[in-house]
Structure 1
């Protein structure tokens, strides 16, 4: 087992420091600044030779700048004779551009994976990828954590299972919804969506019986929340007693808060994979910390242990 070193990028200092607290170590000192023309400047201020280094960098409103900072950190470490470098990216950006849907468009998720590997990452750790197949885009070991260990105990604490129903907001999330339902020993339902264009839905249909049940929508991210709110309205129409949502990544862009205020969603639970001012300001959103899960994964990787139990 090599000495464990953690470097925290500027995108989510709060989460990075919480992870370090769980690990019982201090973050490695780094200099993260900008030149006068806006170019990022990076310097690792401590010796990392032959160390097992973990770089924590998520994404924020300045996604492209966060990515560039990460790449510069990785390049600096690659030139510093580290034993191994693991990129810890709690929220993986560009994940919705994971395939070629028409002519002359990029596969941005694959491009970013290539950039991270080329810059010097030997391993990749993330959570709730928008499309699980993105894990296969990396030419290095990749772990995609799920929030079962964070969300399930919280749901059990506040909801009796006799009238609970987990709802998948689309066909792509039905497998995850079934996993939650299995852990909670409750029913599962699904919403079928027919999209006419990205972000535009022509129709939504409910599959399953949710009448007189407390519905919980589980999804990987809450962006504009338009679809999430429409799903909640549909559930209420079909007789749901209440609707709550658990979404890992609080992107919360555009009119997200306005949409939530006008919706029937009683509460939205998110994690701190993204440092979101909007999530902190809106009282109907509660932030659950994912730091313990990431700290456990980091410790397991450092000690060369299997992480399979985190996915069971």
Structure 2
């Protein structure tokens, strides 16, 4: 095929498509790859089922023939083969899916060709208008008018090449996996391949490279620049525009990739096996590609009632087993945090029963790490299941390490971020002056300081002119509303003749026996009133008077019952009340203070996890109010819960850099969020850690937190 599969770049094609598509064009105007791939997968599955059904029927027929031959002694006439309804149904369904595939493929071809013509026609119109202007008129226009046309030329080139790659990938996949048993389907695919090759998609109508060279010459002439300076200016503008750059890096461009990581390791003396749960299958595939080791077949599935089942297809006796699983919710598989944790626990237990030599849990994202008591339970369960070692990435609290009895390796992705930021700012033409690393809370100041030091060391920046400062955001809680006024109740005789202490109550406890407060305790009563909190329930007692005598059993029991019922009700409603009363306005910055100067500086917010992103967005809005020129957010784990995506899109954050410790490929299908997002693969870092553990080498180079 002329559109045969290209060279692998260490990245799955669906990620390349999500990484390189133009967010202004949107995915709707590209090849419907994400619709065609499931159809091809269904056809492949049906083909396998038909082959198995046919083979089984042939074996049954052969056995029946041998049985009849042994009884009759001679070969009788061949019986007429009866029709198989199940086989006919599968053949019919396969034919329908094949037709659906070709219909979708043709629709994609027509759509892409039409949109490409529109892009080229618009470019010709704008270039023709520019050619009618004089040099003085062009110089009077905004500086980016020529640069925008240059970016448009590059956009058309990328649009054409990415769509050709998509056609190439899906047709090659269909040819090898679906049409391998049908000459008719192969001829049909070859015909479509010839049509695409001869169309305007593969054979451009315009000489776009000549147009790009003309724009470079025009830009250099108008602004008096050399060819090299002009190319640098236009390249920096294209990179800052961000529409034609990769949002997901292939692992070959990462810091810990083999070619970029020169340390040589000793060879292990027994096999390394990597088992993956449902949430980390793609990460496991990339790790095996980096380590160049064979993949272990998926071992986790679910019973119809939702229970987890772990079944190993190969032996693990005497192997060094690494169980890979991120403890995150997986909605499309129907797995909660508890479900993914149960998968991990059962895989560890199964590996132990299979007599593995060593079992290591590789957990890119460790849930429950914000609570020491909760993570202690997680650690105990993992150890009981047979875990002998744990590898995780950038935990939010170092106290968690003390909750594990087995060795815990908390490796860091900091240098992946440092390498990306350094390369990104260099491509934009940044001089690395006026950069500030911001900690979104006081608990992560050391992380921000280490990142600033790592950036300076990596780029060899001057401490005098290019010093990277550190700023901290302090979040103050707003004042609580004033307590309700305390009602003074006049003296009323009680059931006893002796005086009792004054009880100041709310309307709910007015049935109890009450007396007036002595004047000498009035100031103390005011102090008690100031300490009143509306989130605490019950009755405010004047503790500075002598305790009251018992009145009647009936009155006392009734009062205690009312207070007890109120306390239980508030305890049940406490969590929801906190969630409802909490201010959820990310632009509200009244309670945020910055410790450090950020005016006119590039601010890099460094955190471990993006979950609800309320505190992060408030920090970003405060930086924006304080005059920050640009804001970049860096975090290891991208969770996105409770409306975080909408908050980040509306925030003044220009760039969000995360890793794929949590698989969030689906968010790249949303252009507004994808335009801000950059994804760094975590697989090379985990592969280096696994390699070092397997070969009994030190992990000191990965311990940077």
Task: Name the TM-score class by shorter chain.
Answer: over 0.9
Shift of 1:311: 2.5
Matched, 1:121 2:387: yes
Shift of 1:257: 1.1
Shift of 1:278: 5.0
Q: Is contact 1:71-1:119 (8 Å) kept?
A: yes
**Superposition RMSD in Å:** 1.7
Matched, 1:294 2:686: yes
Matched, 1:165 2:436: yes
Matched, 1:203 2:591: yes
Matched, 1:54 2:322: yes
CA distance in 2: counterparts of 1:37 and 1:222, whole angstroms: 33
CA distance in 2: counterparts of 1:285 and 1:25, whole angstroms: 31
CA distance in 1: counterparts of 2:367 and 2:398, whole angstroms: 13
- Tell me which residue corresponds to 1:72: 346
- Tell me which residue corresponds to 2:473: 191
Shift of 1:31: 2.8
CA deviation profile, 1:224-257 (whole Å, cap 9, x unmatched): 1121111101011111001110111000112011
1:272 pairs, out of 640, 657, 660, with 660
Check 1:30–1:258 CA distance in 2 against 1; reply closer, same or farther (3 A cut). Answer: closer
- Tell me which residue corresponds to 1:241: 629
CA distance in 2: counterparts of 1:16 and 1:216, whole angstroms: 30
- Tell me which residue corresponds to 2:638: 250
1:145 pairs, out of 394, 411, 418, with 411
Q: Is contact 2:290-2:687 (8 Å) kept?
A: yes
Match of 1:162, SS state, is coil
Q: What TM-score do the two structures reach when normalised by structure 2?
A: 0.42
Shift of 1:29: 2.0
Matched, 1:27 2:295: yes
CA distance in 2: counterparts of 1:170 and 1:122, whole angstroms: 34
Match of 1:5, SS state, is strand
2:700 pairs, out of 291, 299, 308, with 308
Deviating more after overlay: 227-236 vs 153-162 = 153-162
- Tell me which residue corresponds to 1:135: 401
2:369 pairs, out of 76, 95, 98, with 95
CA distance in 2: counterparts of 1:195 and 1:93, whole angstroms: 26
Deviating more after overlay: 185-194 vs 251-260 = 185-194
Shift of 1:36: 1.8
Runs of 5+ unmatched residues, structure 2: 1-267, 330-335, 426-430, 457-467, 479-577, 584-589
Match of 1:165, SS state, is strand
Q: What TM-score do the two structures reach when normalised by structure 1?
A: 0.93
Matched, 1:85 2:353: no
Match of 1:93, SS state, is coil
Matched, 1:285 2:677: yes
Shift of 1:67: 0.2
CA deviation profile, 1:137-158 (whole Å, cap 9, x unmatched): 1111110011112100011112
1:41 pairs, out of 303, 306, 309, with 309
**Structure showing the higher strand proportion among its residues:** 1
Shift of 1:26: 2.1
Check 1:200–1:18 CA distance in 2 against 1; reply closer, same or farther (3 A cut). Answer: farther
Runs of 5+ unmatched residues, structure 1: 99-106
- Tell me which residue corresponds to 2:446: 175
Shift of 1:195: 4.8
CA distance in 2: counterparts of 1:237 and 1:87, whole angstroms: 44
CA distance in 1: counterparts of 2:692 and 2:599, whole angstroms: 43
Shift of 1:161: 2.3
CA distance in 2: counterparts of 1:204 and 1:43, whole angstroms: 52
CA distance in 2: counterparts of 1:48 and 1:116, whole angstroms: 19
Shift of 1:49: 0.6
Deviating more after overlay: 30-39 vs 255-264 = 30-39
- Tell me which residue corresponds to 2:220: none
Shift of 1:260: 1.0
CA distance in 1: counterparts of 2:679 and 2:311, whole angstroms: 32
Shift of 1:60: 2.6
Q: Is contact 2:345-2:385 (8 Å) kept?
A: yes
Deviating more after overlay: 119-128 vs 277-286 = 277-286
Match of 2:299, SS state, is strand
CA distance in 1: counterparts of 2:665 and 2:642, whole angstroms: 13
- Tell me which residue corresponds to 1:10: 278
**Structure showing the higher helix proportion among its residues:** 2
Shift of 1:290: 1.1
- Tell me which residue corresponds to 1:101: none
